[in-house]
Structure 1
């Protein structure tokens, strides 16, 4: 076995070991009620094929008034988040997750977030996630009126003046860093956010995975002489040789200097 074959063998074994030890991504889905998750069953099946765990937060009682003495507790990956007066407050929940997913947001909660107000479960969770600089993914095709309110008022849409106000709030939320995507594509954004490599035309490329391989470099680096990686990224032997041969400078995000 020559040196090249040995390096490929070591690289393959390293990747297998890293994949086994890679911590799983944990995402919190915030649904309006206990039936709102049903249209997303197929998306959740796709997420299970990746190292992504998820919890549900079901807000069945939100429209009857959020009481300050009520709290929320996460019951574990893949489980439902249950109401419990001794559990964590909503503002604490984002600390335990890598991303927050809210398939449907309404005019009230959008207004609260835009004005820096809390007082509801969704607004507190979004506020905490933004402060912690964690991704917040929201359904972009939400009508802006709660599911329970649609049922009570027998209407599916806001009147035009309120609809325009809602759209302006969505733009403000985007400016705050909230990501809006169609509800049917939200799972793809979650996967892309954590597992797909993204190119950066200014610096030549940014690698956001766990293990940097020569295959990724060959397909994404191009002619750039710089490459950004996250702190703790592992470079395989062949990747190191490739970077050295091409004279590429590696910049570790978050490193001193």
Structure 2
């Protein structure tokens, strides 16, 4: 499981994100960008964040540390924004926190060229998890200590928004036309050769075990065990045939 902390002060909303994440201080003296379960697509977005973020970490890609952060809506009393108050009221309990990277810059593909190996590995993971939200319009990358960091993976694994049709998406091709790192990803074949063997059913089970149970139980699954098995089986089937979905951008 992810480490648990408790939110102690709501600092400010971050209006760059469509789901209105916020900056929150916690009892471990850390500051986190919090994605709230009461926003947008609800807990499924948080599940996607954990699966993508923790899988990226195990594949040695740079992602901020993730925590489960308990939120008491009472911390919004000093917040004058009615929208924020309503969001926090709907988000009592467990939410997702990403370690705040102070001084980080927004990624600019012109000002911040990316190493081809790293770009290819990121594109491979985004293609595998069907992350459609790393475009040149919205890179979802930060530059911190001169290194790109991957953030905002809530749009990944979007098959889980329609489980009855999830099987039809196992071999769905990924379009990289808009991907911000596609021009740099000239070593995609090498990334595929490495990651296709590293992403195993056991690794996926390890990552899925980190998702809190109450984010998994709902209309689709009566138990967290059944939900984890369904995610693991889908993602295991997808990695078994990378040629079906891997984009062809190496020669670009």
- Higher relative helix content: 1
| TM-score, normalised via structure 1 length | 0.23
Larger Rg: 1 or 2?
1
